[in-house]
Chains A and B, each alone.
Chain A
Amino acid sequence: DAKTTQPTSMDCAEGRAANLPCNHSTISGNEYVYWYRQIHSQGPQYIIHGLKNNETNEMASLIITEDRKSSTLILPHATLRDTAVYYCIVRSWGNSGSARQLTFGSGTQLTVLP
């Protein structure tokens, strides 16, 4: 699976949009971009995923560049409860016999400030 690069930490003011970047320049055609987050003392939580089109759900939006070498997770109106470590993970799916694990990097510590 492709390697990802994320900033170590970011701050965001409460109520403002939080934009978390991820670089995955070695992504291949069958690899999806997944985002998970981990709030302190909890298990990781799925946020969103995408292949090449922009995606939106009730939690966030995912913007993937046309060349798919980078993406941005957007939390439109960040709240204090969004303070967490955000992980960008790139992996293929559906490969028979291949591992289905997620490989977590260091992620981005997002701190939402009041």
Chain B
Amino acid sequence: DAGVIQSPRHEVTEMGQEVTLRCKPISGHDYLFWYRQTMMRGLELLIYFNNNVPIDDSGMPEDRFSAKMPNASFSTLKIQPSEPRDSAVYFCASSSPGGGALGETQYFGPGTRLLVL
């Protein structure tokens, strides 16, 4: 299994531009999570999906952020317009159904390093 796949791995953009981050979860996993990591705030959850449906988006910073999961194998996190304070590493993670406490294990992708100038 290739694990969680994220693209792009690095993104440099200018303030005001739209940024789209992509994630392919592990096949068969029914939960998908988007996290953001910065030096100041650490690793924080933005939103998560179950069976392609957003369950909790309370961590999304503001309306400039949106996330979609059109099918079980693909999700996007979009920032429009982007701002310098959005610079961070964005991680996607997925977890499998059932399996008790081990089923709760989350598998993280390599992250997308975003720099907004």
Interface residues in chain A, defined as those with a beta carbon under 8 Å from any beta carbon in chain B: 32, 34, 38, 41-46, 49, 51, 91, 93-94, 99-106
| Residue of chain A at shortest CB distance from B45 | A101
Interface residues in chain B, defined as those with a beta carbon under 8 Å from any beta carbon in chain A: 4, 31, 33, 42-45, 48, 50, 55-56, 91, 93, 95, 100-111
The interface residues of chain B lying within 8 Å CB-to-CB of A49 are 101-102, 104-105
From B93, B95, B106, residue with most partner A Cβ within 10 Å = B106
Measured CB to CB, the closest approach of chain A to B79, in angstroms, equals 19
The interface residues of chain A lying within 8 Å CB-to-CB of B110 are 42-43
The interface residues of chain A lying within 8 Å CB-to-CB of B93 are 43-44
How far is A42 from B101 in the complex, measured between Cα atoms in Å?
Answer: 24
The interface residues of chain B lying within 8 Å CB-to-CB of A46 are 105-107
Measured CB to CB, the closest approach of chain A to B56, in angstroms, equals 5
